[in-house]
Amino acid sequence: MNFSRRIICFAVALGLASVAYGQDVMTLKECMQYAVENSAKMKLQQMDVDDARVARRDAILRVFTPEVSAGTYAYSNFGRSVDPETNTYVSTTSFNNGYQVGAGITLFDGFSAVNNMKISKTALKMGIDQEELTRDEICLATMEAYYNVVYFEQLAHILESQVRTAQDALTLAKKQEELGQKGYTDVIEMEAELADREYQLINARNQHADALLTLKDLMFWPMDEELLIDTSMADAEVVATLTPEDETESIIDYAVNNLPSIAIAKGRMDNAMLELKTAKWRFTPSLSLNAGWSTSYYTYPGMEGYVPTPFHTQFRNNGGEYIQLSLSFPIFDRLSTFSNLRRKRNESRRATIQYEQKIREVEAEVIRAVQDRDGASAAFRQADRRTALQEEAYHLNLRKLELGLISTIDFQKASDNWLNAKTSRLDALLKFYIKRSVVNYYNGISYINQ
């Protein structure tokens, strides 16, 4: 009865531990989400987008709203001054107080404000596209680091199995030596084989620790906390979608019209053209309208027999308004306008060339990505077939070793071939995952949603 209860308690504890472990294990998507949410690059880019929104708002207000200002002043004069009422000089202490409100708006400035509004709109869109591009770059870097961790972790598991096999083979060789079936040389060779496998295991564990540190750094994961990731994708026996039917031309068309990097390059080209138009219109005159109202109050506190006019009366009677229409002609500014026009023309040409070059780069990247994916698919299939054959050959040679039919050197060679085949298959599988993800990205599926 007690034994049964122990078994039940052990099973329950094991189940709870499995659940807890499952909650701590992070999938690739969760790692990418964590990296995006905590990335300093993303936070900085979000601030840039917010600045672009502020610039967009300011550009709109500059076009459609006037600039309004108000002010006041107060001063005392202890010497000779002009009487505002009689316009004659007086030599007594006076106190003056004034108020003014003014507004001005530019009616025409060579469409500079309108073009700046368009530029700010494009800049905001470019900022949003840059934020998306930064997110994609972080996800891709996280994916590569994630698969590196998976590779070295699985490699360590493979080498652990090889170490156990080498230990068993060494134990068998020692027994066979005692029975006279093996010589001392065979035992030494098996010990060397075991030492070699143990060295490779230590090296794989060190590489796994380094890859895990890189992943933590990319994710902004706390360095002193454990990070457990899901490695189940490395155990896939068959990949059903090794060669999806995608048309390269359609992927290129989609990438050219939708990729954030292309949108950013086009936005820079459009803004450069708008700035060029603004530079051309700087040769035209500018027209502005200003209007305002002002009033004042004065008194002579040191003058005997002086009865000051009440403040509210002066405030009303001394008020005045003005309206001003200004037309400004550019005549000579040390050729600054001509120099600016030349620079803007060069910037426009440069941005156009960069946009065309970016399109060519994306087209080449798509073609290369499709070729890499198909090549990785073929490599994985061949590696999978090779692994199956090498595994069968290894087990046959292991049986022969137990029967004393082959030498330790032949067995070591078979063991090395199987180890190389398994690691090559794992490497080919993970490379295929990355290449497939890149093609899917160019086809409109973001890394984080794959």
Q: For a pLDDT cut of 90, what percent of the chain falls above it?
A: 67
Beta-strand pair 67-77/25-26 = unpaired
pLDDT, tens digit (0-9, with 9 covering 90-100), for 17-56: 333 334 479 999 999 999 999 999 999 999 999 999 999 9
The band of 175, judged by pLDDT with boundaries at 50, 70 and 90, is: confident
DSSP structure string for 156-192:
HHHHHHHHHHHHHHHHHHHHHHHTTSS-HHHHHHHHH
* SS3 state of residue 444: coil
**Position 243 pLDDT exceeds 70:** no
pLDDT, tens digit (0-9, with 9 covering 90-100), for 372-431: 999 999 999 999 999 999 999 988 988 887 787 887 778 888 888 998 999 999 999 999
Closest CA to 146 of 65, 270, 88, 230: 230
Dist. CA 34–CA 218, nearest whole Å? 10
**Position 58 pLDDT exceeds 70:** yes
- Here the contacts of 283-287 (C-beta below 8 Å, separation 24 or greater) are 283/110, 283/330, 283/337, 284/108, 284/110, 285/108, 285/327, 285/328, 285/329, 285/330, 286/106, 286/108, 286/109, 286/110, 286/327, 286/328, 287/106, 287/107, 287/108, 287/109, 287/325, 287/326, 287/327, 287/328
Residue 260 and residue 268 in contact, taking contact as beta carbons nearer than 8 Å = no
Q: What is the pLDDT of residue 246?
A: 53
The band of 236, judged by pLDDT with boundaries at 50, 70 and 90, is: low
Average pLDDT over residues 427-441: 93
pLDDT, tens digit (0-9, with 9 covering 90-100), for 69-96: 999 999 888 888 888 878 888 888 889 9
Q: What is the pLDDT of residue 141?
A: 96
* SS3 state of residue 101: strand
Beta-strand pair 94-108/320-328 = unpaired
Average pLDDT over residues 122-140: 96
**Position 1 pLDDT exceeds 60:** no
Average pLDDT over residues 174-191: 82
Q: For a pLDDT cut of 70, what percent of the chain falls above it?
A: 92
Angle at 352 between CA 351 and CA 357, to 5 degrees: 95
pLDDT, tens digit (0-9, with 9 covering 90-100), for 284-299: 999 999 999 999 999 9
Q: What is the pLDDT of residue 286?
A: 93
Residue 430 and residue 151 in contact, taking contact as beta carbons nearer than 8 Å = yes
Dist. CA 62–CA 111, nearest whole Å? 12
**Position 9 pLDDT exceeds 70:** no
Dist. CA 119–CA 122, nearest whole Å? 5
Q: What is the pTM of this model?
A: 0.81
The band of 303, judged by pLDDT with boundaries at 50, 70 and 90, is: confident
Q: Where are the beta strands (DSSP E) in 276-358?
A: 286-299, 320-328
The rounded mean pLDDT for the chain is: 88
Dist. CA 52–CA 133, nearest whole Å? 16
The band of 8, judged by pLDDT with boundaries at 50, 70 and 90, is: very low
